[in-house]
Amino acid sequence: MLHLLQKFLIRHIVPRGMVLAMDLFVTGISFILAYLLRFNLEPAQIDLHRATSHFLIALPVYISVFLFYGSFSGIIRHTTIQDTVKLVMAMSTGAMSLLLLSLTARTSPRTEFLVIPYSVILIHFFATTVLLVGSRLLIKETYQYCFIPTRPLKSVMLFGAGELGLITLKVLEGDRISGYKVVGFIDDKRSLNGKRLNDIPIYSTRQAFQRVIKAERVQEVIISINQPNISPTRKKELLEMCLENNVQLKQIPAVKEWMNGQLNSKQIRNVMIADLLSRETIHLETEKIKEGLKDSIILITGAAGSIGSEIVRQLMTFDIRHAILYDQAETPLYNLQNELKTKFPKISFELIIGDVRDPFRLYKVFEKYQPDIVFNAAAYKHVPLMEAHPYEAIRVNIGGALLLADLSVQFKVKKFVMLSTDKAVNPTNVMGASKRICEIYVQALSQKEGVTTQFITTRFGNVLGSNGSVVPLFQKQIEDGGPVTVTHPDITRFFMTIPEACQLVLEAGFMGRGGEIYVFDMGEPVKIYDLAKKMISLSGFIPEEDIAIKFTGLRPGEKLYEELLANKETTLPTHHPKIMIAEVRKYQYDEVNQSIRQLLASVQLEDEEKLVSRMKALVPEFISQNSRFTKFDEQQPAAPRLNGSKKRTKKRISIS
C-alpha cells in the first residue's frame, strides 16, 4: 500500500487551482484566528456582523494578490527560495492594501464598516505567512525524506574553503539524491588550516592526503574554486595526488555557467583530461589581430573540422565583415551553422559545400567574394589512412593547398595562413611528407617576384579532442568497457588544446611579413600509456583491473617520438614566448613548382609506390617507418632532388 502511495505521489502533482484553494482556506482560518487573538480568545466580545464584513473584504484582496504574484503556481514538493519570496510579497502586498484601506476609511463615518483593526491585519499577516511558508517547507521535507530514494553516503572533500566552498557545501547537504557527505575542506591558505567552516574542519593539502582521505575513505575531491583562480599547474598537481590515492577529482562549473545563477549538484563534473594537459593562459596581442581582421572577408577551408570550426568561432569574436565557411562535410557544416546563428547572430557568414580539389568551384568562390584572408585547414590528417591511400594525400593535401595558394595570388589575397603539422618535421609517413611539400611550395611562392600575398605557415602537434586525436578514441573505448588500445608502451606525443592551438594560429597569422614557418611551444611530451591510465582513472575505473590496456604495435608510418619543435638550434624566437620561427632551407619557385606539378600530374598515371618515391625525392628527409614504403629509402629517387635539400644519408637531417 505504501509503495503504491509512493508511486502515486511521485507521478502526480497537485493542480494549481487546488493549491490556490488551500492557500485561501488557510488565509480564511488565519483571519478568524487573528480576530480571536485580538479579543483575547473571547468570542462573546466579537461583533460577528462586523467581523463577517471584514472577512468578506479581506478575502478578495488576498485572492487578487495571490493571482497577481502567482504564488500558487510552484510545485510544492520542490519549493524554492523564489517561491517563498513570492508568498511573502503577496502577503505583504495584501496586508499593506488592507492597512491603507482601513486608514482611508477612518476619515469618513460612511466608510466606518471598512475599518479593520490594525492589530487584526498584522496578526493575520504574520500567522498566514508562517502557516503558508511552513506548510510548503514541511511538505517538501516530508516528500524528500519519505518518498525519494536516497543513495549511500559518499565521503567527499571540498578543495577551497572560500565563499564558493560554502555554497557548494550547502548545495551538497541539501541534495539527498546525490548522497554526498562532506568530511572536510582542503585549502592552500595556511591561515585557514586547523579552523572550521560551518563546523567542518579545514585541512592543508598535505594533511588531507596523508591522513584524512584514507581515514575517512574519501572517494571524491571537488574543486570549489572559480576556474580562473586555480592555475592549470595546481590543478595538475591536485589531479596527480588524487590519481595516486584512487580518488576521483571533480569540479564545480564557472559561476557564469550556473543554471539561473544557482549551483546544482548535477552540474558538478569530472575533471577532464584537457584540464590535465592544459597550460597557463595564452596572452594574445588582440589589438594587432583585431587590426588585421577588421572589416575583412575571410575564407576558411575545412571549416567544419575540429580545428577549422574553432578558428571560425574565434574569428567571430572580432570585427570581420564576412566569413566564408568552405567544406565538403555537409552535416558538420550544417551543425556549425546552427551554432553560429545562436552564438553570433550579428556576424555575417555563409556556408559553401565544396571540395578543395575543385578548381572551377574555388575559382567562382574567389571571384564572387574576393577574400582578403584565407585560412587553409582542409587536409587529411590520419597517418595510417594516408599511408594506405597516398593518392588521396597527394590530391587533397598537396593539390588542394596549391590550388588555394595559386588562386590567392591571382586574386591578390592579403594573407594566406596554412595549417601544417609537427609530422612535417623529418617525416616518417605520407601524411607528414605531403604537408612538408605544401610548406615548401607556399614558401617558394611567397618569394616569387610580383607576389603580394603574405604566406604564413603554422606548425603544431596533436590537438587534444580533435577528430584525429587519441582522446576521443580512448573515451569511446572506456565507455564500451575496454580494452583501451595503445600502439606501444613507450610512445609519446605533444598535445595542446583546440582553443590554444587556434589562438596561436591567429597570433602567428598576423605576426610575420610572409614566407615564415611558425612552430608552437607544445610543452612537455606526454606518454600515451600514462595518458590512457589517467583517462581510465578520471572515468572512475582502476586501470588494468576494471579496464584493460592492450598494446597493438606501431601503425604504418607511426614513430615513437615526435620531433621537438621548440629546439633552440633550429628555431628563432619571436615576441611571443610560445611561437618560434623555423629555420628552413630556401627553395627556388620555378624548380619547386615544376617538381610538384610533375608529382600531381603523375597521380593518375603512376601507381602508389612510384608516387611515394617521388615524394621522397622532393623531401629527402622523408624516411618511412613501419611501412611498405621503407624499401624506397635504400633506392635511388624516382625524380630529381630539389636544390634546396642536401644529399640524403642514413643519418637523419633535420629541416627545422
Q: Quick one: pLDDT at residue 185?
A: 92
Q: Quick one: pLDDT at residue 646?
A: 42
What is the average per-residue pLDDT within 29-51?
A: 78
Q: How far is 532 from 528, CA to CA, in rounded Å?
A: 6
Which listed residue (235, 381, 423, 533) is catalytic? 423
pLDDT interval class at 172 (50, 70, 90): confident
pLDDT interval class at 467 (50, 70, 90): low
pLDDT interval class at 522 (50, 70, 90): confident
Locate 47 and state its grid cell. 461583533
Question: When comparing pLDDT for 462 and 223, which is higher?
Answer: 223
Helix (H, G, I), strand (E, B) or coil at 70: coil
195 contact partners, CB below 8 Å, separation of at least 6: 201, 202
Comparing 76-80, 310-314, 588-592, the range with the smallest average pLDDT is 76-80
Locate 441 and state its grid cell. 611550395
Q: Quick one: pLDDT at residue 135?
A: 83
Query: Residue 635: exposed, middle, or buried by beta-carbon count in 10 A (0-12, 13-18, 19+)?
Result: exposed
Q: Say how many CA atoms lie within 13 Å of 60 toward its Cβ.
A: 4
Q: Quick one: pLDDT at residue 117?
A: 83
pTM: 0.68
Position 78, amino acid:
H
Name 519's bridge partners. 459, 580
Locate 352 and state its grid cell. 559553401
Q: What is the DSSP letter of 208?
A: I
88 contact partners, CB below 8 Å, separation of at least 6: 129, 133
Q: Quick one: pLDDT at residue 372?
A: 95
H-type alpha helices, 425-497: 430-446, 470-479
642 contact partners, CB below 8 Å, separation of at least 6: 440, 587, 591, 592, 595, 618
Q: Quick one: pLDDT at residue 297?
A: 95
Q: Quick one: pLDDT at residue 564?
A: 53
pLDDT in tens, 358-376: 999 999 999 999 999 999 9
pLDDT in tens, 382-422: 899 999 999 999 999 999 999 999 999 999 999 999 999 88
What is the average per-residue pLDDT within 542-558?
A: 88
pLDDT over threshold 90, residue 475: no
Angle ∠(608,611,614) on CA atoms, nearest 5: 155
Question: When comparing pLDDT for 227 and 611, which is higher?
Answer: 611
Other beta carbons within 10 angstroms of residue 472's beta carbon come to: 14
Position 589, amino acid:
Y
pLDDT interval class at 518 (50, 70, 90): confident
pLDDT over threshold 50, residue 655: no
Q: What is the mean pLDDT of the chain?
A: 82
What is the average per-residue pLDDT within 144-156?
A: 67
What is the average per-residue pLDDT within 565-593?
A: 76
200-203 and 196-197 beta bridge pairing? antiparallel
pLDDT over threshold 50, residue 455: yes
Locate 424 and state its grid cell. 612535417
Locate 169 and state its grid cell. 557545501
Q: How far is 553 from 645, CA to CA, in rounded Å?
A: 33
Q: What is the DSSP letter of 378?
A: -
Q: Quick one: pLDDT at residue 515?
A: 81
Q: Quick one: pLDDT at residue 111?
A: 67
Task: Tell me which residue of 456, 462, 445 sits closest to 565, measured CA to CA.
Answer: 462
Taking the alpha carbons at both ends of the chain, their separation in whole angstroms is 78
pLDDT interval class at 113 (50, 70, 90): low
For the chain, what percent of residues have pLDDT higher than 90? 27
Q: Quick one: pLDDT at residue 147?
A: 61
517-520 and 579-582 beta bridge pairing? antiparallel
Helix (H, G, I), strand (E, B) or coil at 632: helix
Q: Quick one: pLDDT at residue 78?
A: 67
Q: How would you label 368-405 residue by residue, b for 16+ Cβ within 10 Å and e otherwise?
A: ebebbbbbbbbbbbebbbbbbbbbbbbbbbbbbbbbbb
> Are residues 415 and 292 in contact, defined by beta-carbon separation less than 8 angstroms?
yes
Question: When comparing pLDDT for 108 and 553, which is higher?
Answer: 553
Rg, the chain, Cα only: 35
Task: Tell me which residue of 651, 508, 649 sits closest to 582, measured CA to CA.
Answer: 508
pLDDT over threshold 70, residue 468: no
DSSP 392-421: HIIIIIIIIHHHHHHHHHHTT-SEEEEEEE
H-type alpha helices, 106-202: 118-147, 163-173
What is the average per-residue pLDDT within 187-208?
A: 89
> Are residues 155 and 218 in contact, defined by beta-carbon separation less than 8 angstroms?
yes
Q: Annotated catalytic, 288?
A: no
> Are residues 580 and 518 in contact, defined by beta-carbon separation less than 8 angstroms?
yes
pLDDT over threshold 90, residue 325: yes
Helix (H, G, I), strand (E, B) or coil at 227: helix
What is the average per-residue pLDDT within 422-439?
A: 92
Comparing 147-156, 312-321, 557-566, 639-648, the range with the smallest average pLDDT is 639-648
